[in-house]
Chain A
Amino acid sequence: MKLRALLIAAALLVVFAPPAGAQRGVTVQLDGLQDGASVSGTLPLSVHASATSGIRRLTLTVDGEVVIDQSPNGIKQNVDASFDWDTTRYVGSSGLARNREYSVQVRAVSHSGGEDQLSALAIVNNQPAVPSGLSTSVAGRDVTIAWDANPEPDITGYRVERYFGSDYVEAATVTETIFTEAPGSGRFSYRVVAIRHSDASPEGIESVPTEQLTMTVSAPAPGSGAGGGGTGKSGGSSKRGGSYSTNGSVGATGLPGGAALPGSRGLGGIPELPAPEWGSFKKRLPYKLPKGGVPLRASAVSRSGGPLRIIPPDGLRWVALGLLFLCIAGFARLMAIRITPPSEPAKIEA
C-alpha cells in the first residue's frame, strides 16, 4: 500500500514538475521578436530575467556575438535590458550585413545556479539602397545605361526597366552595372532596380526604383548614316515634369514629320517618329517600331482626326473575294457557252 502511494506521488511529481530552469526559479523573456519573423531596419529588443535567488548574469547574443552582458551587483530578482539591433549592419562591425537567418539567444543564470535560456530565429530582409550614379549615353542606335554598384554584400542583380504603357517592363536583369541595348527609334525612359538576395523571399527583395532617365534614339533616314550620339546623367540640367531627360541624342535627318520636342536643345532638336498610317494598304511601315510599341490612339487616327477604319470589317473582305471568284467563274461559263458549237437538231422521222 505504501509502495503504491509512493509510485503515485513520484508519477505526479514527474508530470507536474516545473521545467529545469523554472524549478530553480529562473525565467527569461524576449520581447520585440517572434521566432522565425522577417525583420528589417532597426529592431528594438528587450529582455527580462527573474529569479527568486537573484539574477547573477543575463546575456543576449545575436548570431553568437554578445550584445548584452549584465551581472547585477547584489541580489536583484528582476533584471531588464534592451538592445536596438541595426539589422542592416553586422553586430559589432560597421560593415553591411547580409540578408539571412540570424539566431538571437537570451540566457540568464541565478545565484542559486539555476539557468534559463530562450532562442529565436530572425530572418533579416532589408531592402537594397536605390542605385545611384545613373547615367545614360546614346551612340547610334545603342542606348547604354550605367550606374554605381550598390554597397550591400548580397546584391544578386539589377533590373533595368523600360517604360511601357503606363508602367515599366523589364528590359533586362543584369549582374553588371552597365546595360546596352538597341531599342529602336523613339523616346525611351529607363530606370534601374537593385535586387538583393533574401531568405524571406526567394525571388529577392527589390530596391525602390531610381528616377527615370528619358532619352531619344533617332532612326537614321533611309540611305543616311547612323544617328549621332549623346550622353546624359541623372540630375542633369534638363528636368521636365519630375523626370530627368537626356538631350544629347541627335543626328537623324530627313525623317518625315519630324518635329522638335519642347525643351530640346543642342543640334537642332530631337526628331519624332512620323505617325504610322495604319489605314494605307501598304501596311508595313518603313521603319521598325520601338520596343514596347507605340500607343494606338496616337497613331491610328485619320487626317481628319477621327478613328481610322479604311480596312473593311471582318467577313466583308472574304465575301468580296468570294464574289470576285464567282464572277470570274460566271464569265468563264458564259465564254464556254459561246464557244460551244450548236448541236445539230435530231432528225424526226416521219
Chain B
Amino acid sequence: MPFRRPSPRLISRVLTGAAIVLALAGIGVVAYPFATDLWAARIQRGLAGDLAAKAVDYEAGRVKVGEPLTQLEIPRLGVDVVVVEGTTLSALQAGAGHYPKTPLPGEKGNVAIAGHRTTYGKPFNRMDELQEGDRVILTTPLERHVYEIEGQPRVVELDDWSVINRYPKRGSYLTLTSCHPEGSADYRIVVRANLIQSTDVVAEAAR
C-alpha cells in the first residue's frame, strides 16, 4: 500500500493539539509548587483550629494519622507550622509530620518530625541554616516544649534510620528531618535538638 503523505491540514491540527497539551502541562508545572503551597496553607488553617480541641485525644494517645499533633515554631527562621501525626504522603501534605513510632513531644527519647523542604508550604526549606543554640518550640494541646539545636545539620543516607531511633533514653531529644539536597530525595538532612524547658499550657492559661 503506497504511503500517503498526511495533508498539511492534518499536520497542523496535530501540532495545534500538541501545543495545547504542552501549554496546559507548562501552566500546570509552573503552578504546581504554588498550588501545593496553597493546598498546604488551606490544610494548615483547618489544623490550627483543630489542635486546641485535641487535648483529650492527645492525652489519651489517640491522635490519628493526619490529625494535628503539635505546633512547631523555629523563631529564627520564621517557621510556624502545625505538625500532623504520621509521615505518609497524604499526611505530609500538611507540611510536616511526626514519625508515629517515636515519642510524643516532651517525652523521654527522640521525637522525630519530617517536613517538606520544597512544595507543600516547605516548612523545612531553610533547615540547612539551623545553627547550634537555635530554638525549636513544640506546643501541644497540653504543654509547650522548648528545644535547643545541638551540633550542626547532618546529611545521611535515606536508609539510615539510626538518626531517629529512640536512644539515648536518658534525655529528651527532637530530630527534624527533610530531603537533601533541596529539591532532591537522594539524601536526608537531619538536625538534633535537646529539650531544655517544658511548661504546662493548660495551667498557664488558667492563671
Interface set of A (CB-CB < 8 Å, partner B)? 159, 161-162, 164-171, 203, 206, 276, 278-279, 283-284, 288-289, 291-297, 299-300, 311, 314-315, 317-319, 321-326, 328-333, 335-337, 339-341
Complex: A170 Cα to B34 Cα, angstroms: 40
Let me know if A296 and B16 touch, CB within 8 A.
no
Let me know if A329 and B20 touch, CB within 8 A.
yes
Let me know if A330 and B183 touch, CB within 8 A.
no
Cross-interface CB contact of B29 among A278, A289, A293, A318, cutoff 8 Å: A318
Interface segment, B51-59, B78-86, B90-98, B156-164? B156-164
How far is the CB of A10 from the nearest CB of chain B, in Å?
53
B165 interface hit (Cβ, 8 Å): yes
* Size category of the binding interface on chain B: 35 or more
B101 interface hit (Cβ, 8 Å): no
Cross-interface CB contact of B154 among A170, A293, A333, cutoff 8 Å: A293
Given A165-B154, A166-B150; A318-B23 close (CB under 8 Å): no
Let me know if B12 and A339 touch, CB within 8 A.
yes
Complex: A333 Cα to B154 Cα, angstroms: 48
How far is the CB of B47 from the nearest CB of chain A, in Å?
22
Let me know if A294 and B154 touch, CB within 8 A.
yes
Name the A residues within 8 Å of B30 (CB-CB): 318-319, 321-323, 326
Complex: A291 Cα to B161 Cα, angstroms: 9
Complex: A278 Cα to B182 Cα, angstroms: 10
The 4 lowest CB-CB distance pairs between A and B, nearest first, are A325-B26, A322-B30, A293-B156, A170-B167
A-B contact pairs, 25 of them (CB 8 A): A162-B162, A166-B151, A167-B150, A167-B168, A168-B168, A169-B162, A206-B169, A283-B184, A289-B187, A293-B155, A293-B157, A293-B190, A295-B153, A297-B153, A300-B128, A314-B125, A314-B182, A314-B183, A318-B29, A322-B25, A333-B15, A336-B13, A339-B11, A339-B12, A341-B8
Let me know if A167 and B22 touch, CB within 8 A.
no
Given A289-B155, A291-B162, A325-B25; A336-B19 close (CB under 8 Å): yes
Let me know if A169 and B152 touch, CB within 8 A.
no
How far is the CB of B95 from the nearest CB of chain A, in Å?
13
B196 interface hit (Cβ, 8 Å): no
B201 interface hit (Cβ, 8 Å): no
Interface set of B (CB-CB < 8 Å, partner A)? 8-9, 11-16, 18-23, 25-34, 117-119, 122, 125, 128, 150-157, 160, 162-163, 165-171, 173, 180-184, 186-190, 192
How far is the CB of A258 from the nearest CB of chain B, in Å?
20
Q: Name B188's closest neighbour in chain A (CB-CB).
A: A293
Let me know if A159 and B167 touch, CB within 8 A.
yes
Let me know if A336 and B154 touch, CB within 8 A.
no
How far is the CB of B204 from the nearest CB of chain A, in Å?
30
Name the B residues within 8 Å of A333 (CB-CB): 15-16, 19
Let me know if A292 and B154 touch, CB within 8 A.
yes
Let me know if B182 and A329 touch, CB within 8 A.
no
A-B contact count (CB 8 A): 173
Q: Name B116's closest neighbour in chain A (CB-CB).
A: A314
How far is the CB of A202 from the nearest CB of chain B, in Å?
12
Let me know if B19 and A170 touch, CB within 8 A.
no
Complex: A292 Cα to B163 Cα, angstroms: 6
Cross-interface CB contact of A292 among B31, B125, B162, B182, cutoff 8 Å: B162
How far is the CB of A179 from the nearest CB of chain B, in Å?
14
Q: Given contacts A314-B125, A319-B30, A322-B30, list 18 more A-B pairs with CB under 8 A.
A: A165-B154, A165-B192, A168-B167, A276-B155, A291-B157, A292-B162, A292-B163, A293-B157, A295-B151, A296-B155, A296-B189, A311-B182, A314-B117, A318-B30, A321-B26, A328-B22, A336-B19, A339-B15
Complex: A46 Cα to B115 Cα, angstroms: 59
Name the A residues within 8 Å of B32 (CB-CB): 318
Name the A residues within 8 Å of B14 (CB-CB): 336
Let me know if B13 and A170 touch, CB within 8 A.
no
Let me know if B33 and A314 touch, CB within 8 A.
yes
Name the A residues within 8 Å of B8 (CB-CB): 339-341
